[in-house]
């Protein structure tokens, strides 16, 4: 199956600024349009501001997928998964990255720049880009997430 080329929105805090720049370069090399929601340097910022920017766009369907990065990835995944229709997966290994697409159809990949080295982080991104969703019984399970979204918006 050919790799999807739909645009990706990315964001990070200062702890992952350097990794974000490397992820951006990788996406651009692959011919994927990138919307960079910041941050734009290593000055200290608050990760929720950037998590909210990216997750709200994915939640609203303005972007099909996004990538978020902070020191551990924990704060960004907490923020992102508060948004309806967001399935953010914090991945520190290749297997999790692959399975987060195959079984969970993750629409935001989250990375912890202080947890994984740059080389592994970029391999995690490549695996996430290249792996398709399997659908079938996994779609049935994801459909059950809609109940959560409905309860949250009632």
Residues known to be catalytic: 70, 103
In the complex with ligand RB5, the residue whose CB is nearer, 32 or 115, is 115
HEC assignment per residue over the chain: CCCCCCCEEEEECHHHHHHHHHHHHHHHHCCCCEEECCCCCCCCCCHHHHHHHHHHHHHCCCCCEEEEEECCCHHHHHHHCCCCCCCEEECCCHHHHHHHHHCCCCCEEEEECCCCCHHHHHHHHHHHHHCCCCCCHHHHHHHCHHHHHHHHHC
2-21 residues in contact with ligand RB5 (CB under 6 A) are 13, 15
Does 38 sit near ligand RB5 (CB under 6 A)? Answer: no
Determine, following the binding rule CB under 6 A, whether residue 47 of this chain makes contact with ligand RB5.
yes
Q: Does 72 bind ligand RB5 (CB under 6 A)?
A: yes
Minimum Å gap between C-beta 52 and ligand RB5 is 14
Residues that bind ligand RB5 (CB under 6 A): 13, 15, 47, 70-72, 74-75
């Amino acid at each position: 199956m050919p790799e999807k080329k739909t645009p990706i929105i990315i964001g990070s805090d200062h702890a992952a600024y350097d990794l974000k720049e490397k992820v951006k370069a990788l996406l651009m090399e692959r011919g994927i349009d990138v919307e960079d929601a910041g941050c734009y340097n290593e000055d200290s910022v608050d990760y929720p501001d950037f998590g909210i920017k990216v997750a709200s766009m994915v939640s609203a369907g303005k972007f099909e997928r996004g990538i978020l990065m902070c020191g551990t990835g924990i704060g960004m995944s907490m923020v992102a998964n508060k948004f309806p229709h967001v399935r953010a997966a914090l991945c520190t290994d290749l297997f999790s990255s692959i399975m987060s697409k195959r079984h969970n159809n993750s629409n935001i990949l989250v990375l912890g720049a202080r947890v994984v080295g740059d080389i592994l982080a970029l391999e995690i991104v490549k695996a996430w880009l290249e792996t398709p969703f399997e659908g079938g019984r996994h779609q049935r399970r994801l459909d059950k997430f809609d109940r959560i979204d409905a309860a949250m918006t009632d």
